[in-house]
A and B are shown apart, each in its own frame.
Chain A
Amino acid sequence: MDTAYFIETIIKIVVLLLVFSALAGFGTYFERKVLAFMQRRLGPMHVGPYGLLQIAADGIKLFTKEDIVPQNVVGPIFKIAPVITAATAFMAAAAIPFMPSFTIFGYEVHPIISDINVGILYILGVMAIGLYGPLLGGMASANKWSLISAARAASVFISYEVVSGLSLLAPIMMVGSLSLIDFNNYQTGGVGSWMIWSQPVAFILFLIAAFAETGRTPFHLIANDHEIIDGFGTEYSGMRWGLFFIGEYANMFFISFVIALIFLGGFGDGSVGGALALLGKVSFIFFFFLWTRAAWPDVRPDQLMWLCWKVLMPIAVINIVITGIVIMF
């Protein structure tokens, strides 16, 4: 391995970590603001102009808050759980091309940490490991709310991985590759060539599965405040809780990138316009996450299971069969 590649990768990792950690913060700001506006409120207003420095205030608070490890928790596991959540979220980002490649000082930069040929498989796999964060954290907390939350997390993640995996099979069959670069290149022919048109069912299924796996409303039952307090996060404080938080928001961003890359044409032909278009698409999907939270109620856990196994999974299978038949002929 040459040194330049090594340095480049290190730089890319650092940039990615910093940018998305910060984005998690901005994400909360936007979430609060968007939700507030939709509910005819103002949202944060006091820290900085229009409450802009709220993120800094929250950051200071999270970093300086006492790190409480309650008496009856399983210490090491309790401590490692938030790290797993955050780490898996960022690990998944390794296979995502955030931008088209560009040249700087004569050096060609690929804004992807590693274009592995099993990109999608890798992303799905790593995100699946993310299950361990809530699961271990919830089980180690010695708290009944956390335990219920852990159980729910396990069931939801395992169930919806099936849906997300099956729904992506059809697009993969069409592209014939697991690399996200290939996916992007498959859809360079303008809006008409986007996967969403040829695979609308897969798009909707994957979108629903994305909501479930990031634990967002209407599937927010893993940490449903009004019934199980903060679920697995109940006993956490300070920056440990903050890691869960960063993980959740980083996940939202990454899944937005994935959806945009697979179904909405990615960065297209790699031009600047394409890059901006990708950011626009990602932003919209992120906004959609917030939008649904303002508009929709949560579903019950049993409804969620019912929806997964009796509705979404059969549809996904049927979609694969139909796609296969169409490709065959």
Chain B
Amino acid sequence: MSFEKFKDRNVGEDGYYMVDIEDYPETGWGKFKQVASRSLKGELFVGLWVVLREMFKFDIHTVQYPKEKLPIGPRYRAVHKMLRLFESGTERCIGCGLCEKICISDCIRMDTKYDENSRKEVTEYSINLGRCIFCGYCAEVCPELAIVHGGRYENASEQRAHFVEFEDMLTPIDALKAGQQEEYPGFGAIIPGSDKSVKKTPLAY
């Protein structure tokens, strides 16, 4: 449907037809005729035939959920992941606090300090997933593509403490070495072709 059509969809006539609904019978005889016609027309048997046919076709569409899962889209916003730098393996997070700031359900918190390498070190980071609404703002605002959304949507737990495990989110170092960390294409990722819109700074040396 084109955008124009979408906007005028109640005006045009094409593609629409009136459903043929008879008036309700008012006399007893009329009602009897309706019953008779409906009963004898075979509509009931059509219904029986359809379900029987489907039974024999045995074309089952059930996904047996815990054992089988449907693939989810790459832009799906489930439990966050904290990525590492591909080259060095260190955490990408620089502790800028923008995710903490932008979080509309106020569920992100971090503690930072000045570390021995004169860098800002994130000593503790927590996302209260019990409160998170998975809006994706944190991933969008992150300047380092450090916090992204993952595909793990099963986050029921019997303890609230389980909703804030940072270690669960961070890519394990061995997984990184095994090349299992993938760049995130969703919210906040670099738009393809954005290099073209960046002006170059003259660097003479």
Contacts and interface: CB of A to CB of B under 8 A. Distances in A.
Note whether A and B form a binding pair: yes
Interface of A: 34, 37-42, 45, 291-292, 294-296, 306-307, 310-311
Contacts of A37: 54-55, 58, 60
Interface in B43-71: 44, 47-48, 50-52, 54-55, 58-62, 64
B70 to A, nearest CB: 15
B54 A310 contact: no
Interface of B: 28, 31-32, 35, 44, 47-48, 50-52, 54-55, 58-62, 64
B75 to A, nearest CB: 30
Contacts of B32: 310-311
Q: Which 8 pairs between the two chains have the least Cβ-Cβ distance? A: A295-B47, A38-B51, A42-B62, A37-B55, A294-B51, A295-B51, A38-B55, A295-B48
A38 B47 CA distance: 11
Nearest to B53: A38
Contacts of A307: 35
Contacts of B31: 306
A296 B55 contact: no
Nearest to A37: B55
Contacts of B44: 295-296
B62 A311 contact: no
- With a 10 A CB-CB cut-off, give which of B28, B47, B51, B58 has the most chain A CB atoms: B51
A292 B59 CA distance: 20
19 contacts: A37-B58, A37-B60, A38-B51, A38-B54, A38-B55, A40-B54, A40-B59, A40-B62, A41-B60, A42-B60, A45-B62, A292-B48, A294-B51, A295-B44, A295-B50, A296-B44, A296-B47, A307-B35, A311-B32
Given A41-B61, A291-B48, A296-B44, A310 B28 contact: yes
Nearest to B32: A311
Nearest to B46: A295
Given A45-B64, A296-B44, A291 B28 contact: no
Contacts of A311: 32, 35
Contacts of B52: 38, 291
Nearest to B44: A296
A145 B54 CA distance: 35
Contacts of B28: 310
B28 to A, nearest CB: 7
A39 B51 CA distance: 7
A291 B53 CA distance: 11
A38 to B, nearest CB: 4
Nearest to A294: B51
A39 B54 contact: yes
Contacts of B64: 42, 45
A300 to B, nearest CB: 13
B8 to A, nearest CB: 36
Nearest to A307: B35
Nearest to A38: B51
A34 B54 CA distance: 11
Nearest to A204: B39
B62 A41 contact: yes
- With a 10 A CB-CB cut-off, give which of A37, A291, A310, A311 has the most chain B CB atoms: A37
Nearest to B61: A40
B51 A291 contact: yes
B30 to A, nearest CB: 12
Given A40-B61, A45-B64, A34 B55 contact: yes
Nearest to B58: A37
- With a 10 A CB-CB cut-off, give which of B52, B54, B55, B61 has the most chain A CB atoms: B55
A88 to B, nearest CB: 30
Nearest to A306: B31
A310 B60 CA distance: 42
B37 to A, nearest CB: 13
